[in-house]
Amino acid sequence: MQKDIRRLSLILLFAPFALWIVLLILLPHVGMVFLSLREKIAPRVYEFGFANYIEFFNEPIYWNTLVRTGSMSLLVTVLALIIGFPIAYYIAKIAGPRVRGALFLFCLVPLWVSDLIRAFGWILLLRETGVVSNILQWTGLAAAPVEMLYNDVTVVIGLVYTVILFMIVPLASTLDGMDNSMIEAGYNLGGRGTTVLRRIIIPYAMPGIASGCIIVFMLTAGSYLTPILLGGKNSSWFTEQIYDQFITRYNWESGAAFGMLLLAFTSLVVWLGLRLTGQSLANTVTKT
């Protein structure tokens, strides 16, 4: 009786998690895989085949966009790391407890408004007749209106701004777990600031760096609104192509194939990154 109750409560506790995994993660992906393996022969006639994937590799526009999306996402990840690390270090090691809370809150601010509003914020700031351009003209730094919108640099700035919190939080929590005496020992044994950073702080923070980079890379590669709204005439983004396939071209089969390819591509990049830095996914998850 007692045992049955215990087993029942275990099942009840586990059920929401299992349902979540199966219904929201597993099933849709299985569905996507099936969808992506259907070839459209005629209206309402489909056949099993790899045509959608072959199509992707035969059309340079598609894989170029994927490579472009991947490399820009990597750039965003690196920038977020370079900017986020000092901030995380300040929050975890230098700031007092009250300032720390305020700073975390400050980093959260961008998440309080939707993607769309954030993008429009940047548009207001950076457009030719926008705030920054006007200030530059007013101070005499620019003679004519400056257009800072509609190019890749703006896309990168907007993305870094959006995702940097996801870099700072795991980094700060890893650094927070680091005993201050570890850093002092680094100096005490004769290390200079750069040596301590390179040989002690960064290796210690490596799980946090890895998990921050994974989250940021995934978010960036999968983002839609920011690159679309801030991007210029040539700024294609792979998610835009998936959307186009699904919605404008009614081509769910090829959209599903593109979705699976994006998933495979980002997973590959993450795997490579972990291999290169000698981290394991489990290590990354438990240490942060």
Partner 1 sequence: MRIKTTVTCMIAALVFGTASIAQAETLRLLTWGSYAPDELVQKFEAEYPDIKVEVTFSNNEEMIAKLRATGGAGFDLAQPSHDRIHAAQLEYDIYKPMDLSKIDTSVMSTVHLEGVKANTTIDGEVYSVPHQWGTSGLMADKSKAPEFKNWMDLCDPMYKGKTSMRLKRTILLGTAFSLGYDPFAAYADLDEYQRILDEVVEVLIACKDNIKAYWKGGDDLAALMLSGEIVASETWDSTAYRIYNENSNIVFVPPGTGALTWIDTFTLPRKAKADDAAYKWINFVLRPENVTIMSASTGAIAAVNGGQDLLPPDKKAAVTAAWSAEDIANLQFFANIPPGIEDMEGKALEKIKAATGG
Partner 2 sequence: MVNSPSTDLECINISKTFGSVLAVDNVSFEIPRGSFFSILGPSGCGKTTLIRMIAGFEQPDSGEIHIKGKSVLNTAPNKRNVKMVFQHLALFPMMNVYENIAYGLRCNGVAKDEIDQRVNNVLKRIALPDVGEREIHQLSGGQKQRIAVARCMVLDPDVLLLDEPLGALDLKLREAMKIELKLLQHQFDTTFIYITHDQSEALVMSDRVAIMNQGQFEQVGTPQELYHAPRSAFVAGFVGDSNRWAGQTVAAAGSAVRVKTEDGLELLANPYGAAAATGGRAVDIFIRPEFITVERAGGARAAPESGHNTLNGVVDSLLFNGANSRALVRSASSHLIEADIVLTGGNEDLQPGENVTLIWPADQTMCFAT
Residues within the interface to partner 2 (CB under 8 A): 179, 181-182, 184-192, 195, 199-200, 203-204, 206
Least distance to partner 2, CB of residue 89, Å:
17
Q: Could you tell me the CA-to-CA distances from 249 to 38, 39, 53, 236, 284 in Å, in that order?
A: 16, 15, 17, 17, 40
Nearer to partner 2, 86 or 278 (CB): 278
Residue 179's binding partner, choosing from partner 1, partner 2, none, with beta-carbon cut-off 5 to 8 A by kind? partner 2
CA-closest candidate to residue 83, choices 161, 148, 152: 161
Residue 181's binding partner, choosing from partner 1, partner 2, none, with beta-carbon cut-off 5 to 8 A by kind? partner 2
For residue 29, count other CB atoms closer than 10 A to its CB.
14
Nearer to partner 2, 9 or 195 (CB): 195
* Binding region for partner 1 (CB under 8 A): 43-44, 59, 61-62, 64-65, 123, 127-129, 147, 149-150, 228-229, 232-234, 236, 241, 244-252
Query: What are the DSSP calls for the chain, one per residue?
Result: -HHHHHHHHHHHHHHHHHHIIIIIIIHHHHHHHHHHTEEEEETTEEEE-SHHHHHHHH-HHHHHHHHHHHHHHHHHHHHHHHHHHHHHHIIIIIS-HHHHHHHHHHHHHHHHS-HHHHHHHHHHHHSTTSHHHHHHHHTTS-SS----SSSHHHHHHHHHHHHHHHHHHHHHHHHHTS-HHHHHHHHHTT--HHHHIIIIIHHHHHHHHHHHHHHHHHHHHT--HHHHHH--TT---HHHHHHIIIIIS--HHHHHHHHHHHHHHHHHHHHHHHHHHT--HHHHHHH-
Residue 247's binding partner, choosing from partner 2, partner 1, none, with beta-carbon cut-off 5 to 8 A by kind? partner 1
Least distance to partner 2, CB of residue 203, Å:
4
Nearer to partner 2, 28 or 278 (CB): 278
Least distance to partner 1, CB of residue 249, Å:
4
Least distance to partner 1, CB of residue 202, Å:
38
Residue 189's binding partner, choosing from partner 1, partner 2, none, with beta-carbon cut-off 5 to 8 A by kind? partner 2
Nearer to partner 2, 43 or 190 (CB): 190
Nearer to partner 1, 85 or 252 (CB): 252
Residue 275's binding partner, choosing from partner 2, partner 1, none, with beta-carbon cut-off 5 to 8 A by kind? none
Least distance to partner 1, CB of residue 214, Å:
28
Least distance to partner 1, CB of residue 256, Å:
13
Least distance to partner 1, CB of residue 263, Å:
20
